[in-house]
Structure 1
């Protein structure tokens, strides 16, 4: 899920990534339990740094996937920015690894100031969300049932509004989460479990 989130964010939103869960896992930091990815961009119109907290969830049930994703994301977007906050460990990892992830010394210096709570620039960070949500649907053809790609696309298009309505409800389950900017990628699978199995076999 983290890899799909990264690919979609880079391809469609063009928001650079600062840190990823996958890179921390492969570096031996298996204890890491933070966001699946953290992306960042700068808004020159108001001198704010937009920090995007990424979460990916893949379940057979769309309701479960959406619910779990928003449950995870709410801590990063709504938790008070204190020393014991949900975001604190991730912010420490960003500052500790900033030289490895940023190749521009001027940008590195600016980011350090934004993440320094004793610097006034730290008041100009805006938290936003990124989500990848994968789930099963039955519209894909079964083994002995043939459908054209066009038919599958048409069937899926008819479901999109219902997906959006469900997503809005899941967001509104958490007070004030609807006030945050959240970019959500919804991807229906024939089988999330089968996709995960094939992927894990491929990367062995």
Structure 2
């Protein structure tokens, strides 16, 4: 099922309505959807490199708006919407562990790491931020920085290097971003417990 969902998402890049689909996928990824917007963003930017920054803006704006929706779901509808969504994706236990052990600073750090490397998935962090009542303005600024950095880095790489960089992005960018995210978490924990 997951492979069919991935293939369907990828097929949207060839449609005339691809920009609308990119906005939709970026929006729902940040609150309830499993497949990242990159699956649509990368082929779109490769096929029309002159529009890669335009696609980055669309994906960033839609992703931040989806993150705000996730925040509201966590804040106002945890039991009725968030919990069933998290259970459906098998993320409820991870979410509960994060909820009981995380402070606001760590949640904002996770927003950056999930925005850069999908660690943990962005929908988990946006819902968690709402449940933990993270200041909405601070959440929005952090989401813009995190998601914008990811999409604009992808846009720059794809526009600069084109098709040859695609394999690198698909195979190694997540690993590199994950290592960077891990380093940020270690740095945060070191500062938190050293002071």
Using structure 2 for the length normalisation, give the TM-score.
0.32
Which of the pair is proportionally richer in helix?
Answer: 2
Using structure 1 for the length normalisation, give the TM-score.
0.31
